[in-house]
Amino acid sequence: MNRFVVMVDAGYLLRQSIEIVSHRASTSRADLEISDPAGLIRVLLDKSSATLDLSGKELLRVYWYDGVMANGFTPQQRSLVNVDDVQFRAGTINGRGQQKGVDSLIVTDLIELTSHHAICDAVLVTGDSDLAVGIEVAQKRGVRIAVLGVEDLAAGVAHHQSFEITSRADRVGMLGQTELAQVLRFAPVQQAPVPPAVGVPTGSAPAAAGTAAPPLDRSRIEVAVRAFISQQATPLTGVVDHTTKRIDGTVDRALLHHVFTELGHGRLTEAEKVYARQVFRSAV
């Protein structure tokens, strides 16, 4: 047994990638085109091999985990399905457009593969703290684990990976603009024009058009913040300076990324950030 596996949380990979290739103009996966699907898999394999020193070892397969809508695959997903050595593993998408069930699929597959001695190494492209238990089980069975993140600090895009997985992994690697720009492209979705209101002459702009911010959904933000707190494996003691009210920078970035993911409507407004931090301070 001298084989390795690469397990890709597509939600994490593509959400990070669109920020990088669009130079932070978009946070929507719908604006990301996989211009070279086979090339993307090669990039992942090359980075995996370099990170975990996999020379001389055989690829078992690449598992691609992604939530699938009730009406089927998106063009983005279809582009990956028929790539050699890739197996698509489908989670679900809930009513809020959020990916569900992917983390449990990854953990289940990782534990199954290690229990049957099918692999000796595994590379996880993810940021999810829920995978920490799977990493520990695999390591106890003699499997080496690397985690790959996606970041471009020059563009202000942090890797958004949980400390719970980066601290447990045997190796940590990063993908960035140089690799991603070869195989991914920013292709913003064209919005249909809004017809003029009755009685408004064509070419006239309605008053205050485009100036209204989305309403502040306090209840969803509160739920997201509480979920973030409950997912932390270590106590959050001392992460808030009670004199300045500042939240530890690493925790603050992780908190806002979690809220952004849960709300699922694009970049957070300043009002949403302020309220999320207020709820967090009150809770801890």
Give the distance from CA 158 to its chain's centroid: 11
Cα end-to-end span (Å), the chain: 47
Region 147-176 average pLDDT: 95
Domain ranges of the chain: 3-186, 218-283
* Residue 259 confidence class, pLDDT cut points 50, 70, 90: confident
DSSP codes of every residue in 68-136: EBTTB--HHHHHHHTSTTEEEEEEEE-TTS-EESHHHHHHHHHHHHHHTT--SEEEEE---GGGHHHHH
pLDDT at 166 over 60: yes
Superfamily of domain 3-186: 5'-nuclease (3.40.50.1010)
Q: What are phi and psi of 73, to 5 degrees?
A: -65, 145
* Residue 208 confidence class, pLDDT cut points 50, 70, 90: very low
pLDDT at 97 over 60: yes
pLDDT for the residue 92: 77
pLDDT for the residue 194: 47
Q: Which residues does 282 contact at the CB level (< 8 Å), separation at least 6?
A: none
Average model confidence (pLDDT) for the chain? 87
